[in-house]
């Protein structure tokens, strides 16, 4: 079955750039999207179709997808960005696949 692999944790200093990766077989052939989830809250879509931001999502969130890796980049990371981040793709045989999640710590 198709799998998406994320690092369990990423740390970043306030104001710096955080990069969270998501790896999967020929991922560039699919659309990758990203969700932010803060404790006790439902996930929120922050990037869709590899690099598009929904309305209301700050410009510091961006995405890319090339080869086997999709990347979520947060520029000028703020304390409020500390959360769990999940990548997701639609795959023809298994339909929906989520990555295992990455805990972003801003310290």
Partner 1 sequence: QVTLKESGPVLVKPTETLTLTCTVSGFSLSNARMGVSWIRQPPGKALEWLAHIFSNDEKSYSTSLKSRLTISKDTSKSQVVLTMTNIDPVDTATYYCARAKELSSGWPPDAFDVWGQGTMVTVSS
Name the minimum Å distance from CB 96 to partner 1.
Answer: 4
Which of these ranges, 19-27, 65-73, 74-82, 95-103, lies near partner 1 under the rule CB under 8 A? 95-103
Nearest to 102 by CA among 76, 74, 78, 75: 74
| 80 near partner 1, rule: CB under 8 A | no
- Tell me the C-alpha to C-alpha distance, in Å, between residue 104 and each of 3, 66, 67: 21, 22, 24
Mask for 50-69, x = binds partner 1 (CB under 8 A): ----x---------------
Query: Measured from the CB of residue 13, what is the shortest distance to partner 1 in angstroms?
Result: 26
Residues, the chain: 107
Q: Give the residue ranges of DSSP H helices in the chain.
A: none
Reported as type and span, the H/E element at residue 37 is strand 32-37
Binding site for partner 1 (CB under 8 A): 1, 30-31, 33, 35, 37, 42-45, 48-49, 54, 86, 88-90, 92, 94-101
């Amino acid at each position: 079955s198709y799998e998406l692999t994320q690092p369990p944790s990423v740390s970043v200093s306030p104001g710096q750039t955080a990069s969270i990766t998501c790896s999967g077989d020929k991922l560039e052939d699919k659309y990758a999207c990203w969700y932010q989830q803060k404790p006790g809250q439902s996930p929120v879509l922050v990037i869709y179709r590899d690099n598009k931001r929904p309305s209301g999502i700050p410009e510091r969130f961006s995405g890319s997808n090339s080869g086997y890796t999709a990347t979520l980049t947060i520029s000028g990371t703020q304390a409020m960005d500390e959360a769990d981040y999940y990548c997701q793709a639609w795959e023809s045989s298994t339909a929906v696949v989520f990555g295992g999640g990455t805990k972003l710590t801003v310290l």
